[in-house]
């Protein structure tokens, strides 16, 4: 295993190489960024990791961050560790966002620290470089799927989770933001300490400070004893601010001091207490839009969002639906000692549906189906009936089961395909073959509609030729 070391201080570079070699690694030392980039281009396949200084002599127009950007763009499989003699939180944040697996300062670097950083980087590289390993990690956290988008989420959880940066988790309702927050905590250095959830929408506004900061006995009416708050409970661990976008503007300033200064003061007290915790927040709201509208503090936003993980909608990862539902059915069968299965057409039907509530809605429908279905085989009609309840359009008592097959009818799969093809054709005709408008009308992405057009052999040009 060879490790590249890039630092314009020859003595430091040689010292670092000597220490690294003592761990059993080969080393290569270079003194300027341009030479480093050329070396990486030629030898990246033989490198196990790179240790990069950030600042170089003024005569060189490039910095260590430029080398990092080059690596992440062309060789994302190469783990990069940044080293600096002038470390700042802004530089650490930028390096992490660019893809550095760690950031260390020269003044705290010693043999033990260096060994730990290199070993951790190589372990993380192995996990990051293997989608199968990331998928296994996600499944251990209750997150299912193998699509590129969910693997990217897993990669971000691993990369950001092992730092101590505050993370904002964004995504539509029902996408699994709480599970992602728990996964971040589980892979962090704080995993053996508490993970405490602040359910912001359900905390009484007049008790907000007491719930979070605690209070002294007699500090207000009803304070019959001294109480510790959620900040105390989460000390040394992670505090998860769920639905942070719902926090009223007049209460948001209360979070600034705990985040910036790591101190809190109980209600009724004049004494400050130190806290040591990491903040993970989640929201389904557009906080930047809220900032422009004056409903969210920009200072708080930047403190909470040192890194961001965005969770895709279920529509953006429909290929994960079979794995999600099959795992859910397996759990159901284990719990209720049953042997229910989904027919292939039922799985395809699930993938064709629009899930406004994302995974939460999908599992809600599946739960209803599995708990009420008497037979062991889940068919399209069973799912259609259960989903109609969620959509507010229950099937009529006199209506025949949706797409029910008869001995003389086409298969459900063929019939379903014809129905979908006809519906898409009607929308395309209304929009004179405009795919973008038709996708918006159907509530799906343009790419998803193109996939369906190809799948069902729809002639878009034919609808365009009907224009007057």
pLDDT of residue 409: 39
pLDDT band at residue 397, thresholds of 50, 70 and 90? Answer: very low
- Average pLDDT (392-410) is 37
Question: What confidence score (pLDDT) does residue 131 get?
Answer: 81
Q: How far apart are CA 38 and CA 30, in angstroms?
A: 11
* Confidence band of 117 (pLDDT split at 50, 70, 90): confident
- How high is the mean pLDDT of the chain? 85
pLDDT category at 89 given cuts 50, 70, 90 is low
- Residue 80: pLDDT band by 50, 70, 90 thresholds? very high
CA distance 126 to 155: 11
In 355-414, the DSSP E strands lie at: 377-378
- Dump pLDDT digits (tens) for 407-453: 333 444 555 566 677 778 878 888 888 887 777 776 666 777 787 88
What pLDDT is recorded for position 415? 53
The pLDDT tens digits of the residues spanning 242-253 come to 999 999 999 999
Evaluate whether 135-218+227-310 and 315-404 have a shared fold.
Answer: no
CATH class of the domain comprising 135-218+227-310: alpha beta
Contact 139/250 with Cβ under 8 angstroms? no
The predicted-structure confidence for 122-142, as pLDDT tens digits, reads as follows: 766 655 446 888 888 999 999
| Every domain of the chain and the residues it spans | 2-128, 135-218+227-310, 315-404, 415-464
C-alpha separations of 19 from 27, 83, 124, 324, 340 in Å:
10, 15, 21, 47, 59
* pLDDT > 70 fraction of the chain, expressed in percent and rounded: 88
CATH class of the domain at 315-404? mainly alpha
SS3 content of the chain, % helix, strand, coil (to 5): 55, 15, 35
The candidate with the shortest Cα–Cα distance to 120, out of 7, 21, 23, is 23
Fold type of domain 2-128: Rossmann fold (3.40.50)
**pLDDT at residue 364 is higher than 90:** yes
pLDDT at 406: 34
pTM over 0.75: no
What pLDDT does 416 receive? Answer: 58
């Amino acid at each position: 295993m060879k490790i590249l070391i890039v630092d314009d201080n020859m003595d430091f570079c040689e010292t670092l190489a000597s220490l690294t070699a003592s761990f059993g690694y080969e080393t290569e030392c270079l003194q300027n960024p341009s030479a480093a980039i050329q070396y990486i281009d030629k030898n990246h396949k033989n490198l196990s990791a790179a240790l990069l200084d950030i600042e170089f002599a003024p005569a060189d127009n490039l910095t260590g961050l430029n080398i990092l950007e080059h690596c992440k763009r062309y060789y994302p499989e190469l783990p990069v560790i940044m080293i600096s003699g002038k470390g700042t939180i802004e530089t650490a944040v930028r390096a992490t966002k660019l893809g550095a697996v760690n950031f260390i300062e020269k003044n705290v670097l010693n043999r033990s620290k260096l060994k730990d950083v290199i070993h951790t980087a190589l372990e993380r590289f192995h996990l990051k470089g293997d989608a199968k390993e990331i998928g296994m990690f996600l499944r251990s956290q209750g997150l299912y799927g193998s699509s590129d988008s969910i693997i990217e989420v897993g990669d971000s959880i691993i990369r950001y989770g092992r730092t101590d940066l505050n993370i904002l988790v964004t995504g539509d309702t029902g996408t699994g933001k709480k599970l992602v927050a728990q996964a971040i905590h589980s892979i962090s250095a704080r995993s053996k300490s508490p993970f405490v959830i602040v359910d912001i929408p359900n905390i009484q506004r007049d008790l907000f400070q007491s719930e979070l900061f605690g209070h002294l006995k007699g500090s207000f009416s009803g304070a019959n004893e001294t109480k510790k708050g959620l900040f105390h409970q989460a000390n040394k661990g992670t505090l998860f601010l769920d639905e942070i976008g719902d926090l009223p503007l007049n209460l948001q300033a209360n979070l600034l001091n705990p985040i910036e200064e790591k101190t809190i003061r109980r209600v009724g007290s004049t004494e400050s207490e130190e806290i040591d915790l990491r903040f993970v927040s989640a929201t389904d709201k557009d906080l930047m839009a809220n900032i422009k509208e004056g409903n969210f503090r920009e200072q708080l936003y930047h403190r909470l969002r040192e890194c961001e993980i965005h969770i895709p909608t279920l529509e953006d990862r429909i290929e994960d639906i079979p794995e999600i539902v099959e795992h859910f059915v397996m759990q159901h069968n284990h719990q209720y000692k049953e042997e229910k299965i989904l027919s292939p057409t039922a799985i395809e039907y699930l993938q064709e549906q629009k899930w406004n509530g994302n995974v939460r809605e999908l599992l809600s429908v599946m739960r209803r189906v599995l708990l009420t279905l008497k037979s062991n085989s889940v068919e399209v009609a069973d799912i259609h009936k259960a989903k109609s309840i969620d959509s507010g359009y229950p099937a009529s008592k006199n209506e025949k089961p949706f797409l029910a097959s008869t001995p003389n009818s086409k298969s459900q799969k063929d019939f379903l395909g014809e129905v979908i093809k006809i519906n898409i054709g009607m929308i395309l005709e209304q929009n004179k073959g405009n795919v973008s408008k038709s996708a918006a009308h159907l509530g799906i992405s343009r790419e998803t509609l193109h996939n369906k057009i190809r799948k069902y052999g729809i002639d878009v040009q034919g609808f365009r030729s009907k224009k007057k």
